[in-house]
Amino acid sequence: MKEIGVGVIGTAFMGKAHSIAYAAAGTAFGGGLRPRLELLCDINPERAERKRIEMGFARATSDYMDVVNDPRVDLISVCVPNSVHKEISVAALKAGKHVWCEKPMATNVQEAQEMLDAARESDCQTMLGYNYTQNPLVQSARQLIEEGVIGRVTGFHGIYDVDNEADAGRPHSWRMSREASGTGANADVMCHLVSIAHFMAGSEISRLVGDYDTVHKERADPKNPGQTLTVDNDDVCTALAHFESGIKGTLRVSRVAWGRKCGLKWEIHGSEGMICHDQERLNELKLYTRSDDPRQQGFKTILSGPNHEPYDAFLPNGGHTLGFIDVKTCELHSLLKAIETGKPTWPSFEDGMKIENVMDAIDRSALSGQWVDV
Amino acid sequence: MKEIGVGVIGTAFMGKAHSIAYAAAGTAFGGGLRPRLELLCDINPERAERKRIEMGFARATSDYMDVVNDPRVDLISVCVPNSVHKEISVAALKAGKHVWCEKPMATNVQEAQEMLDAARESDCQTMLGYNYTQNPLVQSARQLIEEGVIGRVTGFHGIYDVDNEADAGRPHSWRMSREASGTGANADVMCHLVSIAHFMAGSEISRLVGDYDTVHKERADPKNPGQTLTVDNDDVCTALAHFESGIKGTLRVSRVAWGRKCGLKWEIHGSEGMICHDQERLNELKLYTRSDDPRQQGFKTILSGPNHEPYDAFLPNGGHTLGFIDVKTCELHSLLKAIETGKPTWPSFEDGMKIENVMDAIDRSALSGQWVDV
Amino acid sequence: MKEIGVGVIGTAFMGKAHSIAYAAAGTAFGGGLRPRLELLCDINPERAERKRIEMGFARATSDYMDVVNDPRVDLISVCVPNSVHKEISVAALKAGKHVWCEKPMATNVQEAQEMLDAARESDCQTMLGYNYTQNPLVQSARQLIEEGVIGRVTGFHGIYDVDNEADAGRPHSWRMSREASGTGANADVMCHLVSIAHFMAGSEISRLVGDYDTVHKERADPKNPGQTLTVDNDDVCTALAHFESGIKGTLRVSRVAWGRKCGLKWEIHGSEGMICHDQERLNELKLYTRSDDPRQQGFKTILSGPNHEPYDAFLPNGGHTLGFIDVKTCELHSLLKAIETGKPTWPSFEDGMKIENVMDAIDRSALSGQWVDV
Amino acid sequence: MKEIGVGVIGTAFMGKAHSIAYAAAGTAFGGGLRPRLELLCDINPERAERKRIEMGFARATSDYMDVVNDPRVDLISVCVPNSVHKEISVAALKAGKHVWCEKPMATNVQEAQEMLDAARESDCQTMLGYNYTQNPLVQSARQLIEEGVIGRVTGFHGIYDVDNEADAGRPHSWRMSREASGTGANADVMCHLVSIAHFMAGSEISRLVGDYDTVHKERADPKNPGQTLTVDNDDVCTALAHFESGIKGTLRVSRVAWGRKCGLKWEIHGSEGMICHDQERLNELKLYTRSDDPRQQGFKTILSGPNHEPYDAFLPNGGHTLGFIDVKTCELHSLLKAIETGKPTWPSFEDGMKIENVMDAIDRSALSGQWVDV
């Protein structure tokens, strides 16, 4: 078993998730590359050291360039705000490090392109944290589709609703400003849905018409009591889409959908069946195929289990439930295999760029009121 | 209790459903107008007489004008193919009969307009059989919305998937020809979804962009073995929509969605909550409102019961399940009240015209690739 | 099409349901015997006449013996309180009338035996209103079991929870008195569950141990404010059971289970699969059979449809939802066929007696604390 | 942050789960005791060393006494077959080590008592791996009950069905022999259900009647082709139970229930509401409380989220899904707090003994056909 030294930049939610994944991967998967928790970076030196101890890293730093330049680090997790994804990823790739970057790729297509260029110029593997595609059950669904279980893919329909900003009483923030953060639900939520669309359909979106809605148009100005500020980006983002393969589909996301906590629901329609998934029940897949006996036709509810690889790295029996962090560990496993074999995994920066292009096209279409090419 | 003489034209599925509703209404609701099964019409005289006996009508005929002109008939059910809705409805209205016409209203907007004109010129009540809006639980949902339970309505999203034509092995039929039947899923399926959109949102769609897809582009020619015919209307129909009230939404329907038998699912998003419904579980409503205790927040699954009027006309206890035909009886009850009081019910021909206009706008948009006004 | 004259005794919930079923049966089923609504009986003459008009009967009476003796009546519905089931049913059978009696059969096994004796001495058909067994989907489940779809039946487990008496604030009533009404949940709720157990298992319960619980032991005395009365029968009733076929099972019912409106849930375990049903979703059946591909194994959710006879008597397409009253009409259809063919249907008074015996055995066991033979 | 040296004995499923929990706990929870992976034990020396590297332990051994006697180890995980739980746990406790032992406690009550005696004589903390009680959502449910959200607890009903042995084609094994492994489903499955019953009801079972069934009575003898061996312990185990608090309930488990992968479902009935949980959807809780508006009454589906402590140690947003291993980490966290504070956690060996006593009482009752005291 070979080791690979890893550095994590950022210690919030995603830094934590990456760190647990690094700590668990060897035990879960055995064989392959075993991560060695080498260097942890947080902009706050005191927190960096405290988290280092909690998380079990060998060393800590508050300067991300220390990670980039560390000879004992071969793989870097970029778990910082989107606005610095490009800067760090490019530096890491130039220093010859593999990069595991959280989603979305960047704040605009220009930055994403710079990241892609850096990846192309390097010999390193890259991966974006579109983790919902890494669920063993979702990967298994993809396999089933490729095996023809639902026939020819004929359509993709997806929704991703969350209620993070549903409360009209939440004050204005940088997320609600086009200048400060770019698009709203499009950037934050749609990117996940596009990743699923591309992965599950096995084809990319090539043409679309998009629309925006801002449901809470004014929000309290946190700095000026009694005043409000205008929300000038999208709470809701929708699109009709054509894929390169010729199929069509729909996408809609909202950040103001009360009651939806992780409401990513998608359906793949096929000429012989249908597969559906709801991320709030990540361990369940719905599958409809034609039945010989018309009295017995219906959607199956498939529970994730050891036949949905690599579920069995975690649990020997079905129905025992994988969680978000287990799926993150699967994601890492996929990246480690790519590093070991030199064969890219999905979604690399190449794949991420295509996702960014769709979000950009939705933005152009929503602003122009026209169908546009991606 | 006053009686009202009724005539039913057509004895297939909908003729049957109307007839059972007429026979059950007095028992279920008591009071009000009691239907008297006067005259049944089927184009086939022999079947007309047989069905008359089975269904308990006083007399039968094979000529719909007999029904139109019968002095003992005050209310006429139009349960025949869409292509003759206009002809019969206009004749009935001119003869001073109330009309209960199945959906969609007609095969194009010109015919629908003629029907509307006839209704406007008469003193009669009209109703279109958009029965999913007549479900006591759905009506109750509408009331709850009006009472502000989910705050301000902020969005409508609806799907109606069926698998009637999902099997690629089904031969070509008139339904798959634009010339013979007009649009496909748009006409057959979308009309129901638009009725729900208008009813639940409390506002009409005013602008939209639509798209079509034909999933099975060639089907076996039933008359020429080994030959195929082209399907030149839509298997799938989607739209992004703006409503007069200012809210936005999405609609999509398919007639080739494997596994969906009556897959009409809709969500009303509100500023303080959400309501969802799935027609395949017509006795369940999902409601999310904010909870004082964050540990207790979640969607409620509300079972239809006696507090959802007029459920109690059928059953005294909740959870005992209404069916499609009970809802049809509720629909009739609503029309009978309109006749009794002279106050129109929803959806009259006025309301139906607005639904037809949306379907027409989707067609124009899908063909032109442009956003269009309804 | 032959007619059969029917009389209904009782005009409350079940009188209504029977009357709608009689009015709908001809239209729904065609062919066979067509009910003719001849004579309606209500103890209150004024209500009898009012209901007669609403319900469309030819004549009304306030004396049930008028129905029993009416030469134009061949089939009598007994829709009155349990305490008079015996008296009326025995009189009707002696007068040569077929009897459709609501459940439970009687208030004790002696009365039930008298009813059975009268049925045996007559040439008439009898049926008890255990309607949950008449659901086309449940009947289809029984067929599938007989065809071996889940292998050998290995167990039956059922629950029937309702919340009719869950509110501790409800005052004492005759239902809560052993003297006035016999057992509590055992009589009211368990009888339905036993009917399902016998029907689905295809075998009767022969030995059991039962237990009672009274959750709300004192309730307000409605006649003496501030006083309470003791509830001396069962709110909850449970049993472990052995069936004649050798399989074992469990049964539990409650009348104080908050949130359950019609919470009848049962599972048939088999050597090769499992079937489950929940009455609150009467149009859905869950079926698990072994799958060739372990990635595709899961319970199917089967929606009722035209392949589950006689669903197609009501609706041509699946997923359109049957309701309680439709199922009541199916029940009637089964009885009409029995009358026509002279072959008993299930559950006749023979079958009902076996259900009563189980309830009696549960009572004996719960009081004695011993396993008992039925 | 203080460290605690840990040793894990056993490297199969549970050894893995404990090891990942140890590696993740510091990162997830911060603060408190941080596990240091000190010594790993597997009976096979080669595997011990290989697993040591994969799992990140400092040292490995094939002799469990090395772990027991290691001065750098303070907490020992017992993840070996049930038959050696006693031997190792007693040795560990005598050596002054805290013990985290997998369930069930032992193979009979005598052994369990020895373990309890050893725990009582030590100053160490003990915990049994009844992990389903450690789910943050389940713990939160317990809190809600204690706060009176569903009023007074009035009943507990639980099921735990799995299909591990459902296939009649599986050959005979030691698990199916009373001599080799004691009871069947009672020992393997019922113990979990009893742990939930005691935890959720807040009271222990004191009296019961139990029953056994063996569904597959003969199985292929793996050593003698064509021969079979008798299964002489229980495939199915059921009980009616009385609790010390006065409430009553039911329990049933099966190891031959096709389609159930982790089918642990329980309901707590209350005088003002109900709470239900299904382990196959471990991130969902069903809660019914009375509603002011009868149109809005229904069960809520509550998704686990940051308000259900300590969910937020893993994920900041609701609906993102915890998995089995996260719950195992919560379990560890509870034990670490006990070690830190000196206050026992639930379920200690004291609590485990009460669970063993119930399983023993079920066995006595099933064999004698009598109600028995626990």
Chain B interface test: which of A153, A154, A367 (most B C-beta within 10 Å): A154
Any CB–CB contact under 8 A between B369 and chain A? Answer: yes
pLDDT at D160 over 80: yes
Number of C-alpha atoms within 13 angstroms, CB side, residue A69? 5
Closest alpha carbon within chain C to D273:
C258
Query: What's the CA gap between D181 and C29, in Å, rounded?
Result: 58
- Looking at residue C246, which CATH number applies to its domain? 3.30.360.10
Q: How many domains does chain C have?
A: 2
Any CB–CB contact under 8 A between C281 and chain B? Answer: yes
Residues C122 and C168 in one domain: no
Question: Could you tell me what percent of chain D has a pLDDT over 70?
Answer: 100
Any CB–CB contact under 8 A between A171 and chain D? Answer: no
- DSSP assignment letter at C303: E
Enumerate the residues of chain D whose CB falls inside 8 A of the CB of residue C165. none
Are D208 and D228 within 8 A, CB to CB?
no
pLDDT at D180: 86
pLDDT at B1 over 80: no
Closest alpha carbon within chain A to C311:
A295
Question: What is the nearest CA distance from A262 to chain B, expressed in angstroms?
Answer: 13
Any CB–CB contact under 8 A between C72 and chain A? Answer: no
Enumerate the residues of chain D whose CB falls inside 8 A of the CB of residue B316. none
Are A239 and A280 within 8 A, CB to CB?
no
Query: What's the CA gap between A256 and B290, in Å, rounded?
Result: 13
Per-residue pLDDT tens for C6-62? 999 999 999 999 999 999 999 999 988 999 999 999 999 999 999 999 999 999 999
Question: Could you tell me what percent of chain D has a pLDDT over 90?
Answer: 97
- DSSP assignment letter at D102: P
Residues D255 and D270 in one domain: yes
Chain B interface test: which of A161, A213, A242 (most B C-beta within 10 Å): A213
The model's confidence at residue B312, banded by pLDDT at 50, 70 and 90, is very high
- Looking at residue C69, which CATH number applies to its domain? 3.40.50.720
Per-residue pLDDT tens for B218-233? 999 999 999 999 999 9
Between positions 232 and 271 of A, the ones with CB within 8 A of B are: 236, 238-240, 247-248, 250, 252, 254, 256-260, 269-271
Query: What's the CA gap between A48 and B343, in Å, rounded?
Result: 72
Residues facing C159 on adjacent strands: C252, C265
Query: What's the CA gap between D242 and D178, in Å, rounded?
Result: 27
Is B209 close to A209, i.e. CB distance below 8 A? yes
Are C199 and C133 within 8 A, CB to CB?
yes
Query: What's the CA gap between C343 and B296, in Å, rounded?
Result: 55
> Dihedral sign, CA of B349, B353, B355, B356?
positive
**DSSP string for A19-37:** HHHHHHHHHHH-SSEEEEE
Of C83, C109, C129, the one marking the end of a domain is C129
Looking at chain A, the number of H-run helices and the number of E-run strands are 11, 17
Question: What is the nearest CA distance from C108 to chain B, expressed in angstroms?
Answer: 25
- DSSP assignment letter at C170: S
Residues C305 and C206 in one domain: yes
Residues B203 and B115 in one domain: no
Question: What is the nearest CA distance from B196 to chain D, expressed in angstroms?
Answer: 20
The model's confidence at residue D285, banded by pLDDT at 50, 70 and 90, is very high
Query: What's the CA gap between A177 and A229, in Å, rounded?
Result: 9
Query: What's the CA gap between D347 and D359, in Å, rounded?
Result: 16
Residues D200 and D55 in one domain: no
Any CB–CB contact under 8 A between A26 and chain D? Answer: yes
Q: Tell the residue number behind the tokens 């559906």, with chain if given.
A: A276
Tell how far CA D128 is from the center of its chain: 7
pLDDT at C181 over 90: no
Residues B290 and B187 in one domain: yes
pLDDT at A181: 84
| Average pLDDT for chain C | 97
Instruction: Give helix D191-201 / helix D136-146 axis angle, nearest 10°.
Output: 40
Type and span of the H or E element at D241: strand D236-243
Question: Could you tell me what percent of chain C has a pLDDT over 70?
Answer: 100
pLDDT at D247 over 80: yes
Enumerate the residues of chain A whose CB falls inside 8 A of the CB of residue B259. 273-274, 288, 297-299
Is B295 close to D308, i.e. CB distance below 8 A? yes
For chain C, give the longest Cα–Cα distance: 67
Nearest CB to D295: which of B144, B296, B301? B144
Per-residue pLDDT tens for B4-38? 999 999 999 999 999 999 999 999 999 889 999 99
The model's confidence at residue C325, banded by pLDDT at 50, 70 and 90, is very high
Question: What is the nearest CA distance from B54 to chain C, expressed in angstroms?
Answer: 5
The model's confidence at residue C180, banded by pLDDT at 50, 70 and 90, is confident
Nearest CB to B271: which of A168, A236, A259? A168
Closest alpha carbon within chain C to D210:
C240
The model's confidence at residue A175, banded by pLDDT at 50, 70 and 90, is very high
From the list A78, A83, A64, A80, the residue with the least C-alpha distance to A174 is A83
Are D137 and D279 within 8 A, CB to CB?
no
pTM: 0.98
| Average pLDDT for B251-260 | 98
Chain A interface test: which of B219, B240, B256, B292 (most A C-beta within 10 Å): B240
**DSSP string for A110-169:** HHHHHHHHHHHHSS--EEE--GGGG-HHHHHHHHHHHTTTT-SEEEEEEEEE--TT--TT
Chain C interface test: which of A289, A295, A303 (most C C-beta within 10 Å): A295
pLDDT at A1 over 80: no
Between positions 90 and 119 of C, the ones with CB within 8 A of A are: none
Enumerate the residues of chain D whose CB falls inside 8 A of the CB of residue C238. 240, 248, 250
Residues A212 and A339 in one domain: yes
Q: Is the peptide bond before D71 cis (omega within 30 degrees of 0)?
A: no
Is C320 close to B19, i.e. CB distance below 8 A? no
pLDDT at B263: 98
Any CB–CB contact under 8 A between B284 and chain A? Answer: no
Query: What's the CA gap between A175 and A165, in Å, rounded?
Result: 10
Chain D interface test: which of B272, B283, B295, B300 (most D C-beta within 10 Å): B295
Residues B213 and B118 in one domain: no
Is B27 close to C13, i.e. CB distance below 8 A? no
Query: What's the CA gap between D301 and A205, in Å, rounded?
Result: 35
Residues D122 and D141 in one domain: no
| Average pLDDT for chain D | 97
pLDDT at C50: 97
pLDDT at A180: 86
Question: What is the nearest CA distance from A270 to chain B, expressed in angstroms?
Answer: 8
Question: What is the nearest CA distance from C165 to chain D, expressed in angstroms?
Answer: 11
Q: Domain range holding C13?
A: 2-129
Are D215 and D238 within 8 A, CB to CB?
no
pLDDT at A207 over 90: yes
Residues facing D242 on adjacent strands: D207, D248
Residues C260 and C282 in one domain: yes
Residues B100 and B151 in one domain: no
Question: Could you tell me what percent of chain A has a pLDDT over 70?
Answer: 100
Is D299 close to B296, i.e. CB distance below 8 A? no
Nearest CB to C27: which of B19, B281, B305? B19
Enumerate the residues of chain A whose CB falls inside 8 A of the CB of residue C305. 294, 297
Residues A146 and A238 in one domain: yes
Is D298 close to C272, i.e. CB distance below 8 A? no
Per-residue pLDDT tens for B106-116? 999 999 999 99
Contacts made by residues C105-110, CB under 8 angstroms, sequence distance 24+:
C105/C349, C105/C352, C105/C353, C105/C355, C105/C356, C106/C82, C106/C356, C107/C82, C107/C83, C107/C181, C107/C182, C107/C187, C108/C182, C108/C356, C108/C360, C109/C353, C109/C356, C109/C357, C109/C360
Question: What is the nearest CA distance from C30 to chain B, expressed in angstroms?
Answer: 5
Of A129, A149, A175, the one marking the end of a domain is A129
Nearest CB to C303: which of B164, B261, B315? B261
Is C280 close to B321, i.e. CB distance below 8 A? yes
Are D86 and D114 within 8 A, CB to CB?
yes
Of B67, B97, B129, the one marking the end of a domain is B129
